[in-house]
Copies of this chain bind each other. A is one copy, B any other.
């Protein structure tokens, strides 16, 4: 999509709040230095955030010889945000304060077969009710609820157009949720949730161009380009999992063959393990989480089958990530989601070596490859961030023409 002056104003508003969250308390002068924006622009944006109650004045600091500088900080109790991670086998809901600290959490298990939209919505509503109740008075001031669903979504209409795991087609998920949840709702998918979580709170902070590689049951790449999320013309960019790595290779549920996902998604890793040792005791048939966890423990114990499985997986992953480096030339590639978290440093080391074998020298020298530093569920955090962005967008519109003094 085309970028407008309005988009830039919104992005600047995001960046100032991001910086305040990262370094509270802070002065307008420090914010200007950290963001590269003019002091006047920062002052206007800080005024908007104060108006909304998202930040608060917390006193003054001396400036050498000059007049004291006003300090602002996140107004942690200025409202709450809810992030919903609808995954294949569970629903996780977290409630955050405005510093994006988790105040309450609720998990609902979904048994196989419980995949009708009404059943999933029921679990979400129950978990949202639970976190609001746990948070007590705090829970009453929910500014918005971000919902991540694994599939292709239309953000504007709130329709989940396709969710491969449950074979959902054109499910009006936001309308269904709105029957149970009275707060503003924002729908997107885990790819973009993880990308926005890294952009606000993780390894992509301050990067113009970043790729957040999501390694779970499915895989994908959330793209941060030009300082913002790249969504594409129909909000479906990032389907790296269905780019071809091996023409005519392993069959994929998308109907194609040789997709990246079939080699590095959790079921693909199980297949890599089976190819190394068909009778490996690490294999828990039908249970991805148990298998990946067993694999991680065996790697830590220097088990040769486990090491070879990670090496093979990294070989595929390295070729696929080198494609992203050659095509997009990002500053950073972040490995995110539960498979990356489980296999951690040993996977990262092998991946770095494999990428170096495949990528061109010039794009690669500009690129760092790191594990996600986010300690909690990045999908919940990212979904809550969508709600935060939604709240910031509406305040921007309301107070847009207001002038704020720079003192």
Q: In the assembled complex, which residues on chain B have CB atoms less than 8 Å from the CB atom of A234?
A: 329, 362-363, 365-366
Q: Taking A2-B227, A226-B225, A361-B162 as contacts, is the C-beta distance between A328 and B232 under 8 angstroms?
A: yes
* Cβ contact within 8 Å between A329 and B233: yes
Distance of A403 Cα from B246 Cα, bound (Å): 58
* Cβ contact within 8 Å between A244 and B363: no
Instruction: Mark each residue of chain A from 243 to 282: 1 if its CB lies under 8 Å from any CB of chain B, else 0.
Output: 1111101000010100000000000000000000000000
* Cβ contact within 8 Å between A327 and B244: no
Q: Taking A4-B8, A242-B360 as contacts, is the C-beta distance between A208 and B233 under 8 angstroms?
A: yes
Q: In the assembled complex, which residues on chain B have CB atoms less than 8 Å from the CB atom of A357?
A: 256
Distance of A62 Cα from B327 Cα, bound (Å): 50
- The smallest beta-carbon distance between A359 and chain B, in angstroms, is 8
Q: In the assembled complex, which residues on chain B have CB atoms less than 8 Å from the CB atom of A330?
A: 232-233
Q: In the assembled complex, which residues on chain B have CB atoms less than 8 Å from the CB atom of A209?
A: 1, 230, 232-233
Distance of A247 Cα from B250 Cα, bound (Å): 12
Kindly identify which residue among B161, B331, B361 contacts A233, using a CB–CB cutoff of 8 Å: B331
Distance of A309 Cα from B47 Cα, bound (Å): 64
Residues facing B in A212-250 (CB within 8 A) are: 221, 223, 225-228, 230-240, 242-247, 249
Q: How many residues of A contact B (CB 8 A)?
A: 60
Residues facing B in A53-110 (CB within 8 A) are: none
For A248, the closest partner residue in chain B by CB is B246
- The smallest beta-carbon distance between A156 and chain B, in angstroms, is 13
Q: In the assembled complex, which residues on chain B have CB atoms less than 8 Å from the CB atom of A240?
A: 326-327
Q: Taking A233-B208, A236-B329, A363-B234 as contacts, is the C-beta distance between A323 and B2 under 8 angstroms?
A: no
How many copies of this kind of chain does the complex include?
2
- The smallest beta-carbon distance between A370 and chain B, in angstroms, is 15
Q: Is A18 an interface residue (CB 8 A)?
A: no
Kindly identify which residue among B8, B228, B230, B362 contacts A328, using a CB–CB cutoff of 8 Å: B230
Distance of A240 Cα from B152 Cα, bound (Å): 25
Q: Is A195 an interface residue (CB 8 A)?
A: no
Q: Is A5 an interface residue (CB 8 A)?
A: yes
Q: Is A111 an interface residue (CB 8 A)?
A: no
For A323, the closest partner residue in chain B by CB is B243
Distance of A209 Cα from B11 Cα, bound (Å): 19
Distance of A249 Cα from B248 Cα, bound (Å): 12
Q: In the assembled complex, which residues on chain B have CB atoms less than 8 Å from the CB atom of A316?
A: 247
- The smallest beta-carbon distance between A194 and chain B, in angstroms, is 16
12 contacting pairs across A/B (C-beta < 8 A): A1-B209, A209-B230, A225-B230, A231-B329, A232-B328, A234-B363, A237-B327, A238-B329, A239-B326, A239-B363, A244-B358, A256-B357
**Given pairs A233-B330, A233-B331, 16 additional interface contacts (CB within 8 A):** A1-B226, A2-B227, A161-B362, A162-B362, A208-B233, A209-B230, A221-B327, A225-B226, A232-B366, A233-B366, A234-B329, A236-B366, A237-B328, A237-B363, A242-B360, A244-B358
Cβ-closest 8 pairs across A and B: A232-B329, A2-B227, A243-B323, A2-B208, A239-B326, A237-B329, A234-B366, A233-B366
